[in-house]
Amino acid sequence: MRIDIITVVPDLLTSPFSHSIMKRAQAKGLLDVQVHNLRDHTPYKQAQVDDYQFGGGAGMVMMPEPLAILIEKLQAERKYDEIIYMTPDGNLFEQKTANTLSLKENLMIICGHYKGIDDRIRQHFVTMELSIGDYVLSGGELAAAVVVDAIGRLIPGVLNDETSALFDSYQDGLLAPPVYTRPADFRGWKVPDVLLSGDPKLVDAWRHEQSLKRTAERRPGLLSDENEG
């Protein structure tokens, strides 16, 4: 999979893809993340990419021309399954969206900045708008990093244990159950006996029960969504 990210602050995206799972995914050739500095593609002097908004009001807006130039340049090189714009008013990014996007071949992500991008770019180029939560960040870079991480770890071969991603929270509509490791007795705090039983059926039943309990306590809306589905 290849993911191209358009940004005005490329340095913000250096660290997230240079360590841990994302670094290994790229080293294996399973994921290719390319970060493009929008300022390198503007026709305006002093690398200008933003201007005052029509109608007045505080805050600058990312201009349409630099974005169109870079988007069309990338489109001339390959076909994109989705052109994603990270924006607070986008659809909430969820696990099912990550699952769907992980099956794609080429994705483009536009990171908003300032007061956002000229709406004509949204109308004529963007195919998907995503938000990672109901709050506002200084730009879309951190949100883009979250999306890439969530997608990238689902690509077959990225994780060492192929089944581990299948049991993450939200994959089955439930939160993950509690997990434990050695020692079995730490300061008198003991691991539940069922996990030491060696009986896979009992362990699976316990984990499912705990997932239901934790979801009901912390995210009851997920159970409502499951019932509605």
Q: Are residues 134 and 99 located together in one domain of the fold?
A: yes
**49 close to 39: Cβ distance less than 8 angstroms:** yes
Domain final position from 126, 152, 178:
152
Is pLDDT at 99 greater than 80 in this prediction? yes
In a domain, 115, yes or no: yes
pLDDT bin (cut points 50, 70, 90) of residue 224 is confident
pLDDT at 164: 64
Q: Are residues 122 and 182 located together in one domain of the fold?
A: no
**167 close to 40: Cβ distance less than 8 angstroms:** no
* CA angle at 128 for the pair 123 and 133, rounded to the nearest 5°: 115
Domain that holds residue 206: 169-228
Q: Are residues 180 and 136 located together in one domain of the fold?
A: no
Q: Are residues 15 and 68 located together in one domain of the fold?
A: yes
Q: Are residues 140 and 175 located together in one domain of the fold?
A: no
In a domain, 161, yes or no: no
Q: Are residues 137 and 186 located together in one domain of the fold?
A: no
The mean pLDDT of 73-84, rounded to a whole number, is 98
Domain final position from 87, 117, 152:
152
* Beta-bridge mates of residue 3: 33, 107
Q: Are residues 133 and 94 located together in one domain of the fold?
A: yes
- Total number of domains in the chain: 2
Q: Are residues 9 and 122 located together in one domain of the fold?
A: yes
Task: State pLDDT tens for residues 124-183.
Answer: 999 999 999 999 999 999 999 999 999 999 999 999 765 466 556 666 789 989 999 999
Q: Are residues 130 and 78 located together in one domain of the fold?
A: yes
Q: Are residues 23 and 87 located together in one domain of the fold?
A: yes
Strand boundaries in 47-196, DSSP class E: 50-52, 60-62, 82-92, 106-111, 128-131, 185-186, 189-190
Q: What is the CATH number of the domain that holds 80?
A: 3.40.1280.10
Q: Are residues 177 and 107 located together in one domain of the fold?
A: no
Strand boundaries in 28-94, DSSP class E: 32-37, 50-52, 60-62, 82-92
Q: Are residues 6 and 71 located together in one domain of the fold?
A: yes
In a domain, 158, yes or no: no
The mean pLDDT of 56-75, rounded to a whole number, is 96
In a domain, 209, yes or no: yes
- Token digits for 191? 């691991």
Q: What is the CATH number of the domain that holds 180?
A: 1.10.1270.20
In a domain, 160, yes or no: no
Name the pairing type of β-strands 128-131 and 82-92. parallel
In a domain, 114, yes or no: yes
Against a cut of 0.85, is the pTM above it? yes
